[in-house]
Structure 1
Amino acid sequence: MTGPLPVGFAVRLNRHVQVRDGGRTLVGGAPTRVLYLTERARALIVDRTVRVTGRATATLADRLLDTGMADPIVAELPDRDLSQVTVVVPIRDRPGPLDRLLACLDGRLRVVVVDDGSAEPEAIAAVAAAHRAEPVALAVNGGPAAARNAGLRRVTTPYVAFVDSDVVLDPDALPLLLRHFADPRVAMAAPRVLGLRMPGRDRWIRRYEDARSSLDLGVEPGIVRPRAPVSWVPSACLLARVDALGDGFSADMRVAEDVDLVWRLAAAGRRIRYEPTAVVRHEHRADVHDWLARKAFYGTGAHLLARRHGTNVAPVVLAPWSVGFVLALLAQRRWSLPVAALLLGVAAARIARKVEGSAHPRRLGLRLAVDGAVASVWQAAALLLRHWWPVAAVGCLFSRRLRRAMVAATVLDTVVDLRRTRAHLDPIRYALARRLDDAAYGCGVWYGAIRGRSPRALLPDVQRRARGRRPVNRGR
């Protein structure tokens, strides 16, 4: 189902979009681009907002949504009939959390509980029956993707919510997500996943997870697709349009199946929205061993994604000039800063030529080049600390400069991230948790690459049109 945005639909430029040249030039999006507006289009944006009143406003709003420059104003979207949603819950051997989840749904929706080969299926069936949920029992454990697909085949409503058993839904989570489907191109919407407070289990790992969980994608809404700020959403809770899902998840994937589905939908031209005002609570792991094992398990999915989606899974995306910029800084020689400055200047000049439609192309070119340089340094630091840490650790045994770079990256990452997340942890334990997090995930990536006999998930994507340096688009 596709078509124009309905009358009354409103979008607002997100806070990262720069409005320049008196409103004629927009800079931002996912990935960053420059959008030039005609006089007519510029007049349609009032207080950074476009309200759909006809064909012209619908076209502009659709364009801004597509580029990632604007987000729907959820508070102004109409409520939709919640009875059009069926909840599918995959479960294996966890009757207690299942009872908690079904209790929070309170019989408001049709629920299909898919028992994925539990050791004691009678306990799962009893909980489902107590909450009037429809049980589906699988004789053989097929994994969460296969279980969700089995539930999807029982859905007769237009929308399906996939909810894991260790999740608790806030009462307005699904209604808020459902509003996004006023946009006919939206195939899926996902909430923010926060930690579920458990009495007597306030361990330091849980406090770290509450602030820095892999499932928590932050406070800002956005379009979801490869190389966007929000490039995936977890299957802990997803609301989707049934007719957009086809056969559903890739049943042969036991990890990263949610990323794969999102990227397939995005490649098909459908929109996926991340909506942080909708909140669900997830029972995070508190045992260090289980926590590390889960992080490593997530990492193994990178190889599977690389096989299906190529360079979309690359750990960093860089332009050739930014590779030289980073290498010059890592060299830590007397010539490093002059060479880095020269590369930055050349990049700024080249970008300025591409944005000559702006009133101040040199100023804009320099701003975009500086943004690219900063992003490149952050990506390089993340590469050393996360994906490439085994190689970097060996290199530190032989290189004093690499040791200095690793120490600087670690300190900077810890200070900035702790300030951003405001975790209830002291800097030492937060730094330890960050490094364990990255090390476990990196081990998983390497294990997947070695087992799959392919380094694709570890290789940078160096391209002439890297993220942030996309062709100029002209709005109509």
Structure 2
Amino acid sequence: MISIVVPTLGRPSLHVLLEALPRHAEIVVVDDRPSPEAPLTVPDHVTVIPGPARGPAAARNAGWRAARNGWIVFLDDDVVPEPDWAERLAEDLAGAGDDVGGVQGVLRVPLPAGRRPTDWERVTAGLADGKWLTADMAYRRAALTAVGGFDERLPRAFREDAEIAFRVRRAGWRLEAGHRGIVHPVRPESRWVSLRTQRGNADDALLRRLHGAHWRSVLEIPPGRRPRHAAITALGVAALAATVAGRRGWALAAAAGWAAGTAEFAAARILPGPRDRHEVTTMLLTSAAIPPVAVAHWLRGWWRWRAAKPVQTVRSAATHGVATHDAVTRIAPARVAPDERTRAADRSVAV
């Protein structure tokens, strides 16, 4: 049997999702609104529990610990399952071997026809290439219990799914790609969304502390532009400092380097896009602001998490019942003990 867990901030898209899910499945909606003014309106067969309002990682932990079944399927509240999603989910999980701890769904992002996608649309479309995204990710309860759930120090919908996937694999489980599909529409956003998303650099600093210098390859995350952002920011600071010090030649050289770096960044974002006035203006403004904002968030996270330690996991030879503890520090005790029913429930897959 499976349970479906959906953290939500009460977006209207939640109702579209719930209508598309099978009515006979256990569905747990985690209401993670900080100050809900009214209860969520959901179908009668859906269970709503209050969330801790500390981000999606903490909300998912609350959801899977409240659920009853051996497979936990995490869905975002803004996705739409394809018509045969339930049947293909059952096939994905029924075909999973005993050593498989998780199975990912196929994510599709529809882009507008007749024009090039905007920067935000391209960023959203990039989710389709992501690994182990909890937009649609099924985990065995045993695997979640072994690793203590999601790391709640990651407060955003950013990297928390890649981080738990690494720990699940390190605990001895395999992860597989399934065949069920969901559609992830591009959510409307303001022109400044790219600046807000730079807060994720603080989370990257935590992951660097936890997983070392090669954390991106360890967590299967593509390379980013932070080194370039740091260089551009350093050049901007150097230009200002040289100007204040009256070193005109140094100021001009540093300013030229800053301008060249910023222009390259803006061009990389403008050229693939629609190139209309609104998009070009947005890209120019945000491309100048993103490097210092990204570096500031990284430094903030680096200082905040300077003493951070990894979460404790249980390394097991999944199908052989052998378990040992890795020598790492736990940030919080698990709120659910391993369930004696887990193994039997894992083998009974029904949607």
TM range (shorter): 0.5 to 0.7
CA displacement at 1:213 relative to structure 2? 1.9
Cα distance per residue 1:53-94 (max 9 Å; x no partner): xxxxxxxxxxxxxxxxxxxxxxxxxxxxxxx32111112343
Q: Do the aligned residues in 2 keep the contact of 1:193 with 1:280 (CA within 8 Å)?
A: yes
CA displacement at 1:98 relative to structure 2? 2.0
CA distance, structure 1, for counterparts of residue 84 and residue 236 of structure 2 = 46
**Structure 1: which amino acid aligns with 2:174?**
R
- Report the counterpart of residue 29 of structure 1 in structure 2: none
- Report the counterpart of residue 240 of structure 1 in structure 2: 139
Q: Do the aligned residues in 1 keep the contact of 2:262 with 2:287 (CA within 8 Å)?
A: no
CA distance, structure 1, for counterparts of residue 125 and residue 235 of structure 2 = 23
- Report the counterpart of residue 270 of structure 1 in structure 2: 173
SS at match of 2:23: coil
- Report the counterpart of residue 39 of structure 2 in structure 1: 123
- Report the counterpart of residue 254 of structure 1 in structure 2: 155
2:121 to 180, 190, 210: 210
CA distance, structure 2, for counterparts of residue 407 and residue 441 of structure 1 = 9
Q: Do the aligned residues in 2 keep the contact of 1:174 with 1:239 (CA within 8 Å)?
A: no
The higher-RCO structure (CA 8 Å, 6+ apart) is 2
Q: Do the aligned residues in 2 keep the contact of 1:177 with 1:190 (CA within 8 Å)?
A: no
**Structure 2: which amino acid aligns with 1:398?**
A
**Pairs within 5 Å for 1:132-151:** 132-138=45-51, 140-151=52-63
SS at match of 1:298: helix
Q: Do the aligned residues in 2 keep the contact of 1:85 with 1:160 (CA within 8 Å)?
A: yes
- Report the counterpart of residue 336 of structure 2 in structure 1: none
**Pairs within 5 Å for 1:195-234:** 195=109, 207-213=118-124, 216-218=127-129, 232-234=131-133
**Structure 2: which amino acid aligns with 1:308?**
L
Answering whether residue 127 of structure 2 is matched by residue 284 of structure 1, we say no
Q: Do the aligned residues in 2 keep the contact of 1:85 with 1:158 (CA within 8 Å)?
A: yes
- Report the counterpart of residue 302 of structure 2 in structure 1: 452
**Structure 2: which amino acid aligns with 1:447?**
H
SS at match of 1:90: strand
SS at match of 1:453: helix
- Report the counterpart of residue 105 of structure 1 in structure 2: 21
- Report the counterpart of residue 74 of structure 2 in structure 1: 162
**Structure 1: which amino acid aligns with 2:46?**
A
**Structure 1: which amino acid aligns with 2:175?**
I
Answering whether residue 215 of structure 2 is matched by residue 313 of structure 1, we say yes
CA displacement at 1:276 relative to structure 2? 8.2
**Pairs within 5 Å for 1:29-428:** 84-94=1-11, 96-120=12-36, 122-124=38-40, 127-128=41-42, 130-138=43-51, 140-173=52-85, 175-176=87-88, 179-181=91-93, 182-184=95-97, 185-195=99-109, 207-213=118-124, 216-218=127-129, 232-246=131-145, 247-255=148-156, 256-274=159-177, 278-289=181-192, 291-313=193-215, 382-386=225-229, 388-394=231-237, 398-399=253-254, 402=257, 406=261, 409-410=264-265, 413=268, 418=272, 425-426=274-275
Max radius of gyration: which structure? Answer: 1
CA distance, structure 2, for counterparts of residue 288 and residue 244 of structure 1 = 40
Q: Do the aligned residues in 2 keep the contact of 1:161 with 1:240 (CA within 8 Å)?
A: yes
CA distance, structure 2, for counterparts of residue 162 and residue 441 of structure 1 = 33
CA distance, structure 2, for counterparts of residue 183 and residue 445 of structure 1 = 42
Q: Do the aligned residues in 2 keep the contact of 1:297 with 1:441 (CA within 8 Å)?
A: no
**Structure 2: which amino acid aligns with 1:89?**
V
Gaps of 5+ in 2: 240-251, 307-351
Q: Do the aligned residues in 2 keep the contact of 1:385 with 1:435 (CA within 8 Å)?
A: no
CA distance, structure 1, for counterparts of residue 83 and residue 70 of structure 2 = 20
Cα RMSD of the aligned pairs, angstroms, is 4.3
Q: Do the aligned residues in 2 keep the contact of 1:162 with 1:239 (CA within 8 Å)?
A: yes
Cα distance per residue 1:309-344 (max 9 Å; x no partner): 12233699xxxxxxxxxxxxxxxxxxxxxxxxxxxx
Q: Do the aligned residues in 1 keep the contact of 2:5 with 2:27 (CA within 8 Å)?
A: yes
Q: Given the two structures, how large is their TM-score scaled by the length of structure 2?
A: 0.63
SS at match of 2:212: helix
Gaps of 5+ in 1: 1-83, 219-229, 317-377, 457-476
- Matched residue pairs, number? 283
